[in-house]
């Protein structure tokens, strides 16, 4: 009798233990994963076709799901993992992240989605991650970021988008991102829509480099405020349109560095723009801006160094204009800036020129009213004009040529409001 009881007790105990261990493991660690602890889970060996949401311990804080087969990240894919702080989805064949894919992760601080074929960051894909501070998106195939992609994700300190073929930034792509420390965009951007950075506030560094723009569109930076450093560098900026910087406010330093600029239709920084330092360094500016197009009252310190400007008859317009006046010291300006044209003075410091000997522009034909980025054409026409200034017949031809050129090469900015 005693023995039987003992046997029953033993069997029950073993059974219970075995059973509870069985349920414990199946509940708390998916078979494809290694659970280092109830807070750290690694599922990096591949083979997962679905996120094993039900089998993961709800206490997991650090979850790596790399190199699995998750082509689509559906809405609420991680719902319930309320303790999650760090999530890696690197190396998966993700092609789409649906709206609100990461909803319900109030403690998530770091999200990494790198080395995937993802092409588009869809609207609201990263919405509502209030506590996210780092989002790593490098080495994907991201060509486009749609509006409101990061809506409600307002505490991101770092967004890494390097090594993506990003060519277009949509209106409001980065809207509602406040307190971003660094936003570094990849090279090769061709279009930035108006209001691309709308309602971005308190940004440390916004760096736009190696772009290939046709134009800096009107209101590109509208709604962007409190920026420590905004830098546009090593890019073809095309034409800087009217209102390009309108609505950008409170910038410690705006840097325009080593770019090619076809024309400046307007550069208007009034007092409410409140730009502390405007540094214009090392740019090649192909056309002399109209004096009336430049307003820099709202800039505290302007530095114009190592830029190349046309030094034909328009040099007088430049030297008497607000840009050089804003730089305060004419001899300093002449010493530190260079000529881009005419050909015989290309690359020479302006100080080497005998400025008084350069005639003022008489012929308004090639000035201003020639379409914006046809300036290299304008330059060649200038050269031809010089050679054949007396030939009336040829001048008639040139007028015709000019009309044709203007017709085909007028890249002027579209007017928007």
Ligand X SMILES: *[C@@H]1O[C@H](CO)[C@@H](O)[C@H](O)[C@H]1NC(C)=O
Q: Any residues with CB less than 8 A from the CB of 396 and at least 6 apart, and which? A: none
**Per-residue x/- mask for ligand X, residues 281 to 300, rule CB under 6 A?**
--------------x-----
CA 190 to chain centroid, in Å, comes to 10
How much of the chain is helix, strand and coil, in % rounded to 5? Answer: 25, 25, 50
Give me the phi and psi of 293, to 5 degrees please. Answer: -90, -10
Pick 81 or 381: Cβ nearer ligand X: 81
Q: Any residues with CB less than 8 A from the CB of 33 and at least 6 apart, and which? A: 41, 42, 43, 52, 56
The SS3 of residue 276 is strand
CA-CA distance, 147 to 175, in Å (whole number)?
7
Shortest separation between residue 295's beta carbon and ligand X, angstroms: 5
Shortest separation between residue 85's beta carbon and ligand X, angstroms: 9
Residue 246 near residue 270 (C-beta atoms within 8 A): no
**Per-residue x/- mask for ligand X, residues 106 to 145, rule CB under 6 A?**
xx-----------------------x--------------
Q: Is the omega angle on the peptide bond into residue 342 within 30 degrees of 0, that is, cis?
A: yes
Shortest separation between residue 90's beta carbon and ligand X, angstroms: 13
Size of the site for ligand X (CB under 6 A): 14
Residue 250 near residue 226 (C-beta atoms within 8 A): yes
Q: Any residues with CB less than 8 A from the CB of 121 and at least 6 apart, and which? A: 97, 137, 142, 144, 145, 146, 149
Q: Which of 69, 346, 396, 410 binds ligand X (CB under 6 A)?
A: 69
Contact between 71 and ligand X (CB under 6 A)?
yes
Residue nearest to ligand X (CB): 332
Shortest separation between residue 60's beta carbon and ligand X, angstroms: 15
CA-CA distance, 395 to 282, in Å (whole number)?
36
Of 52, 4, 3, the C-alpha closest to 28 is 52
Shortest separation between residue 123's beta carbon and ligand X, angstroms: 22
Pick 129 or 345: Cβ nearer ligand X: 129
Contact between 246 and ligand X (CB under 6 A)?
yes
Pick 15 or 106: Cβ nearer ligand X: 106
Q: Any residues with CB less than 8 A from the CB of 82 and at least 6 apart, and which? A: 58, 104, 105, 106, 107
Shortest separation between residue 387's beta carbon and ligand X, angstroms: 37
Window contacting ligand X (CB under 6 A); options: 54-62, 220-228, 249-257, 264-272 = 264-272
Contact between 332 and ligand X (CB under 6 A)?
yes
Pick 212 or 332: Cβ nearer ligand X: 332
Rule CB under 6 A: which of 74-103 touch ligand X?
93
The SS3 of residue 27 is helix
Window contacting ligand X (CB under 6 A); options: 37-45, 324-332, 358-366, 399-407 = 324-332
Shortest separation between residue 297's beta carbon and ligand X, angstroms: 9
Pick 266 or 287: Cβ nearer ligand X: 266
Q: Which of 329, 346, 396, 410 binds ligand X (CB under 6 A)?
A: 329
Residues that bind ligand X (CB under 6 A): 69, 71, 93, 106-107, 131, 246, 266, 268, 270, 295, 329, 331-332
């Amino acid at each position: 009798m005693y023995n039987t009881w003992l046997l029953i007790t033993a069997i029950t105990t073993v059974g219970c233990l075995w059973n509870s261990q069985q349920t414990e493991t199946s509940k708390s660690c998916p078979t494809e994963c290694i659970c280092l602890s109830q807070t750290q889970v690694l599922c990096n060996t591949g083979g997962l076709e679905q996120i094993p949401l039900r089998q993961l311990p709800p206490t997991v804080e650090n979850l790596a799901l790399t190199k699995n087969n998750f082509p689509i990240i559906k809405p609420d894919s991680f719902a319930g993992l309320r303790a999650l702080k760090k999530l890696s989805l690197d190396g998966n064949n993700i092609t789409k992240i649906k709206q609100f894919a990461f909803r319900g992760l109030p403690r998530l601080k770091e999200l990494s989605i790198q080395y995937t074929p993802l092409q588009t960051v869809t609207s609201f894909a990263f919405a509502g991650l209030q506590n996210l501070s780092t989002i790593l998106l490098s080495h994907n195939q991201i060509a486009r970021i749609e509006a409101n992609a990061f809506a409600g994700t307002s505490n991101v300190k770092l967004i890494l988008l390097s090594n993506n073929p990003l060519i277009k930034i949509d209106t409001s792509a980065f809207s509602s991102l406040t307190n971003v420390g660094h936003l570094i965009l990849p090279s090769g951007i061709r279009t930035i829509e108006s209001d691309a950075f709308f309602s971005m506030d308190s940004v440390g560094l916004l760096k736009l480099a190696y772009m290939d723009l046709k134009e800096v569109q009107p209101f590109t930076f509208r709604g962007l405020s409190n920026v420590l450093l905004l830098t546009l560098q090593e890019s073809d900026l095309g034409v800087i349109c009217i209102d390009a910087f309108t609505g950008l406010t409170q910038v410690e330093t705006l840097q325009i560095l080593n770019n090619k600029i076809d024309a400046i239709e307007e550069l208007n920084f009034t007092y409410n723009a409140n730009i502390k330092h405007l540094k214009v360094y090392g740019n090649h500016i192909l056309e002399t801006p109209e004096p009336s197009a430049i307003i820099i009252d709202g800039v505290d310190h302007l530095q114009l160094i190592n830029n190349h400007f046309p030094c034909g008859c328009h040099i007088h317009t430049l030297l008497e204009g607000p840009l050089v006046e804003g730089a305060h010291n004419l001899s300093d300006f002449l010493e530190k800036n260079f000529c881009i044209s005419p050909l015989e003075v290309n690359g020479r410091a302006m100080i080497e020129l005998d400025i008084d000997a350069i005639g003022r522009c008489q012929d308004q034909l090639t000035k201003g009213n020639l379409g914006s980025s046809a300036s290299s054409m304008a330059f060649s026409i200038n050269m031809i004009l010089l050679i054949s200034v007396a030939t009336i017949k040829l001048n008639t031809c040139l007028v015709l040529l000019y009309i044709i050129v203007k017709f085909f090469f007028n890249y002027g900015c579209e007017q928007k409001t």
